[in-house]
């Protein structure tokens, strides 16, 4: 990052609620948001004695799917573990999670800039309940709602490959796109269905040595803005703490902090001295899992093409520039539109891309509408491109036709005919206009013959003036140069 005396080193742990019908280990409804408190509960997700968990097959499939979408390996064996801690929103006194054998390991996520952020692991666990704090006649109270307790949660851990707040935001945005794209989660951030723990540290040179003091883990961010603001605040705070000779100079372990958007600052939650010991051990109520190669193959097959792969295919198959491919793929619906047009007119992938990125996108932007609301359908655009490619209309006449199509979605060929925009390729008509132009512009002819090839432009202009924009420019040029030779 420029402008700061240090480099930022960031890793992000993302918690995502999976889009299942039921909870992770019981049959209760998983879509908890907005339901009256404690109505989506049973002995299992309330952690009552003797209740036994039954794993949700769909949750395991979605978790593996997420791993595959992130180019992870799926190890042959995996198991659940108990993560023990006491908190009022955790009725069992432990969370069922995965410790040393997660479902997915060693993947990567490509950002829109092309940078790859490595994924360390993705493991499956269960969500907790929620607490609601209040005050009544001067007495503070806390209410607990277990509707969210036991909702399947996927924790995706990145390597510390991220080097700015902007890149951190790009990472979580891209991750969210991939998870929505692959049907793993709707990741409704406003409902807390995606939360980020961000590990921030600063690295810099001091007296010729590289300094890299311990990180801060900022817990439970749930919006892009919170992520940006919290990273900016905490990295600056670490630097100031270093400069003023604070704790950070002697501290050996990380600290855990929370983020207060109201106050625009972080606050200390835990330091290394009181770091929690979760006493992980294998969950005795569940058997270990061995996802079969057949199951993994089936999930891999069902995976839709990811944006980065689609972009690479657009470059390889349609011969587009990386830049154009990126623009098209940045919007899934726009990319679908493009491919539908190419399917209708397979010979002109580049020309179609130019029209989609150029005139069509400009028209959409002018009215601030999405491609889904376009009045020119993909087949119509393909028909227009067919007229251009077939030499039936000139490029500038095509723009006029497109303008008409945009008004009321007309057929390009019909517009061409009613407006008399068919390109004149008839050589005798063009030759006659060329002769007239030569006769009427002796100065330009003389200049051209004296070697000023630029004078040809004036003659071409004169011919076009006679025939209108309908004239086939290539034919005009050829006949003119023949006549002047």
Residues that bind Mn ion (CB under 5 A): 155
In the complex with Zn ion, the residue whose CB is nearer, 42 or 344, is 42
Residue with tokens 């393909």, as numbered in its chain: 382
204 by DSSP, 3-state: which?
Answer: strand
26 binding Zn ion? (CB under 5 A) = yes
Report in angstroms how near the CB of residue 62 gets to Zn ion at its nearest: 18
Category of 276 on φ-ψ map: left (φ > 0), alpha (ψ -120 to 50) or beta: beta
Place of tokens 């092309």: 114
**473 φ, ψ to 5°?**
-60, -35
Taking the complex as a whole, how short is the minimal distance between the CB of residue 27 and Zn ion, in angstroms? 7
**Rounded CA separation 103/80 (Å):** 10
* Nearest residue (CB) to Zn ion, 26 versus 68: 26
Q: Which is nearer to Zn ion, 35 or 290 (CB)?
A: 35
Binding partner of residue 8 among Mn ion, Zn ion, none, CB cut-off 5 to 8 Å per kind:
none
Looking at the Cβ atoms of 81 and 155, the one nearer to Mn ion is 155
For residue 218, the partner it binds in Mn ion, Zn ion, none, with Cβ less than 5 to 8 A by kind, is none
The item of Mn ion, Zn ion, none sharing an interface with residue 455, based on CB under 5 to 8 Å by kind, is none
Work out what residue 26 binds among Zn ion, Mn ion, none; the CB cut-off runs from 5 to 8 Å by kind.
Zn ion
Q: Checking phi first, is residue 251 left (phi over 0); if not, alpha (psi -120 to 50) or beta? A: beta
Centre a 10 Å sphere on the Cβ of residue 208 and count the other Cβ atoms it contains.
Answer: 5
> Among candidates 99, 112, 111, 103, which has minimal Cα distance to 61?
103
CB of 155 to Mn ion, least distance (A): 4
* Interacting partner of 45 out of Zn ion, Mn ion, none (Cβ under 5 to 8 A depending on kind): Zn ion
Q: What 3-state DSSP class applies to 197?
A: strand
Range in contact with Zn ion (rule: CB under 5 A) among 34-42, 154-162, 364-372, 407-415: 34-42
- Least distance (Å) between residue 81 CB and Mn ion: 12
**Which residues are within 8 A (CB) of 345 and not within 5 positions of it... i.e. 6 or more apart?**
352, 382, 383, 385, 386, 389
**Of 157 and 231, which CB lies nearer to Mn ion in the complex structure?**
157
Q: Which residues 39-78 are close enough to bind Zn ion by CB under 5 A?
A: 42, 44-45
Answer for the pair 299, 65: CB distance below 8 angstroms, yes or no: yes
- Pairing type for strands 255-260 and 281-282 reads unpaired
232 contact partners, CB below 8 Å, separation of at least 6? 165
Closer CB to Zn ion, 54 or 317, in the complex:
54
Q: Taking CB under 5 A as the rule, does residue 421 contact Zn ion? A: no
Tokens standing for residue 81 = 């573990």
> Which span sits near Zn ion by CB under 5 A: 19-27, 331-339, 398-406, 458-466?
19-27
155 binds, among Mn ion, Zn ion, none (CB under 5 to 8 A by kind): Mn ion
Q: What are phi and psi of 199, to 5 degrees?
A: -90, 115
Task: Give the residue nearest to Mn ion (CB).
Answer: 155
In the complex with Mn ion, which residue's Cβ is closer, 145 or 155? Answer: 155
Q: Which is nearer to Zn ion, 28 or 231 (CB)?
A: 28
Q: Binding residues for Zn ion, how many (CB under 5 A)? A: 5
| Smallest distance from Zn ion to CB 97, Å | 17
DSSP 96-132: EE-SSS-SEEEEEEE-TTSPEEEEEEEEEEE---EEE
Minimum distance, C-beta of residue 51 to Zn ion, in the bound complex (Å): 9
CB 193 within 8 A of CB 185: yes
Q: How many CB atoms lie within 10 A of CB 446?
A: 11
Task: For the CB of residue 95, give the shortest distance to Mn ion in the complex, in Å.
Answer: 8
Nearer to Mn ion, 167 or 217 (CB): 217
**Taking the complex as a whole, how short is the minimal distance between the CB of residue 69 and Mn ion, in angstroms?**
20
H or E stretch at 209: strand 209-211
Out of 28, 170, 255, 327, name the contact with Zn ion by CB under 5 A.
28
Give the SS3 label for residue 457: helix
Write down the least CB distance from residue 82 to Zn ion, Å.
Answer: 18
Interaction partner, residue 156 (Zn ion, Mn ion, none; CB < 5-8 Å by kind): none
Interface contacts to Zn ion, rule CB under 5 A = 26, 28, 42, 44-45
């Amino acid at each position: 990052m420029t402008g700061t005396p240090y480099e930022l080193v960031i890793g992000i742990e993302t918690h995502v609620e999976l889009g299942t019908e039921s909870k992770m280990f019981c049959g209760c409804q998983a879509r908890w948001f907005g339901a009256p408190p404690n109505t989506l509960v049973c002995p299992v997700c309330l952690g009552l004695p003797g209740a036994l968990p039954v794993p949700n097959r769909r949750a395991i499939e979605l978790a593996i799917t997420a791993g595959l979408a992130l180019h992870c390996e799926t190890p042959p064996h995996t198991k659940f573990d108990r993560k023990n801690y006491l908190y009022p929103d955790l009725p069992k006194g432990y969370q069922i999670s995965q410790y040393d054998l997660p479902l997915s390991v060693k993947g990567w996520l490509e950002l829109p800039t092309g940078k790859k952020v490595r994924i360390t692991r993705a493991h499956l666990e269960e969500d907790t309940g929620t607490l609601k704090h209040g005050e009544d006649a001067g007495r503070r109270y806390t209410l607990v709602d277990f509707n969210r307790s036991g909702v399947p949660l996927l924790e995706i851990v990145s390597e510390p490959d991220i080097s700015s707040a902007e890149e951190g935001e790009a990472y979580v945005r891209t991750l969210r796109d991939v998870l929505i794209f692959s049907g793993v989660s709707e990741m409704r951030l406003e409902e807390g269905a995606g939360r980020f723990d961000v590990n921030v540290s600063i690295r810099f040179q001091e007296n010729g040595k590289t300094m890299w003091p311990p990180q801060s883990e900022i817990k439970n961010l749930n919006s892009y803005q919170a992520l940006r603001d919290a990273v900016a605040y905490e990295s600056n705070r670490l630097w100031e703490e270093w400069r003023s000779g604070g704790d950070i100079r002697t501290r050996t372990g990380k600290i855990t902090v929370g983020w207060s958007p109201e106050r625009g600052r972080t606050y200390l939650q835990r330091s290394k001295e009181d770091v929690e010991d979760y006493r992980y051990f294998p969950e005795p109520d569940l058997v270990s899992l061995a996802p079969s190669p057949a199951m993994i193959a089936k999930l891999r097959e069902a995976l839709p093409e990811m944006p980065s792969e689609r972009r690479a295919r657009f470059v390889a198959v349609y011969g587009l520039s990386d830049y154009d491919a990126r623009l098209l793929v940045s919007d899934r619906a726009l990319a679908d539109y493009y491919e539908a047009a190419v399917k209708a007119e397979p010979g002109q992938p580049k020309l179609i891309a130019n029209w989609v990125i150029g005139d069509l996108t400009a028209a959409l932007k002018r009215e601030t509408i999405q491609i889904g609301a376009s009045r020119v359908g993909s087949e119509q655009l393909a028909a227009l491109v067919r007229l251009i490619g077939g030499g039936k209309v000139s490029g500038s006449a095509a723009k006029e036709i497109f303008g008409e199509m945009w008004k009321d979605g007309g057929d390009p060929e019909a517009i061409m005919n009613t407006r008399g925009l068919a390109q004149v390729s008839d050589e005798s008509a063009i030759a006659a206009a060329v002769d007239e132009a030569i006769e009427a512009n002796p100065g330009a002819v003389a200049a051209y013959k004296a070697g000023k090839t630029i004078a040809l432009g004036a003659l071409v202009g004169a011919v076009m003036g006679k025939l209108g924009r309908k004239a086939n420019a290539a034919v005009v040029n050829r006949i003119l140069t023949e006549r002047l030779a």
